[in-house]
Amino acid sequence: MNTQANADVAMTDAASNEYLVFSLGDEEYAVDILKVQEIRGYENVTRIANVPEFIKGVTNLRGVIVPIIDLRLKFNLENVEYGGQTVVIVVNVADRIVGIVVDGVSDVMSLTPEQIKPAPEFGVTLSSDYLNGIGSLDDRMLVLVDIEKLLTHEEMQLVERTAETA
């Protein structure tokens, strides 16, 4: 419910839309900051058997069991390492709490509608369906990920849909 309200605010108040910028390898991505609950280190993840590789497992977030997804594996990045710098962004989407592993979090940015360009339609691993657009900031390019759409998509196998996925 809360998420929905937040989402609505984000929709209507696009002028002050703020994004959390994170890095995967050399690429820069950004998610709507209103979807972000917190940022924490990568630790203590319990593996789950018989699930896709990018689902690292589950962890204990103050008594709540939260699945952890490595976006680097999902996006087929080459160097996947876990270290002190590895960060988990805890997002709240579709009434669920999910942790996503990224290489680092850099900053929070406000983007005006003019700075957001439509996403090109050529992505294979990352279909433009999951993108809000491309943020252009001086010489930086931010891939604006629609984290809710991405995480609730069947491919992610996060949400149980029908009997067929079970």
Partner 1 sequence: MDISDFYETFFEEAEELLADMERLLLDLDVDDPDIEDLNAIFRAAHSIKGGAGTFGFTVLQETTHRLENLLDHTRRGELKLRRDIVDTFLETKDMLHDQLDAYRNGSEPDAEAFERISRVLQQMALEELGQGGADDAPPPAAAEPAPVEVAASESAAPEPVAQASEPQDAGDRQLAITLNGVNEKDRELLVEELQHFGKIVSRSGDQACYSVVLASDESRDDIEAVLCFIIEPDQLSITDVVASPADDAPAASGNESAGSDESAPESMAGESVAGESTAAERAVHGDAEDDIAQPGPLANDANTASGAAASPAKPAAKSAAKNGGKGGKNAESSTIRVPVDKVDQIINLVGELIITQSMLEQTANDMDIVSHGPLVNGMNLLQRNARDLQESVMSIRMMPMDYVFSRFPRLVRDLAAKLGKDVELVTEGKSTELDKSLIERIIDPLTHLVRNSLDHGLESPERRIEAGKSATGRLTLSAQHQGGNILIEVIDDGAGLNRERILAKAKSSGLPVSDTMSDDDVWQLIFAPGFSTAEQVSDVSGRGVGMDVVKRNIQEMGGHVEILSQPGNGTTTRIVLPLTLAILDGMSIRCGAETFLLPLNAVLESLQPQAEEIYSMAGDDQLLKVRDEYLPIISLHHALDVVGAKTEVTESIAVIVQGEGRRYALLVDDLIGQQQVVVKNLETNYRKVPGISAATILGDGSVALILDIADLHRLDRRKSQQRHESKRHHLQEVSPA
113-132 residues near partner 1, rule: CB under 8 A:
none
49 touches partner 1 by CB under 8 A: yes
51 touches partner 1 by CB under 8 A: yes
Shortest CB 146 distance to partner 1, Å:
19
Number of residues that bind partner 1 (CB under 8 A): 25
For residue 11, CA distances in Å to 16, 56, 130, 132, 159 come to 10, 32, 16, 11, 24
Sign of the Cα torsion 10, 12, 16, 22 reads positive
Nearest residue to 100 (alpha-carbon basis) of 72, 131, 135, 62:
72
Cα–Cα distance for residue pair 116/104, rounded to 1 Å: 22
Closer residue to partner 1 in complex, CB, 44/76: 44
Cα–Cα distance for residue pair 91/69, rounded to 1 Å: 11
- Residue 27 is encoded by which pair of tokens? 């690429």
50 touches partner 1 by CB under 8 A: yes
63 touches partner 1 by CB under 8 A: yes
Among 65, 110, 129, 155, binds partner 1 (CB under 8 A): 65
91-110 residues near partner 1, rule: CB under 8 A:
96-98
For binding to partner 1 (CB under 8 A), which residues are involved?
44, 46-51, 57-60, 62-67, 96-98, 157-160, 166
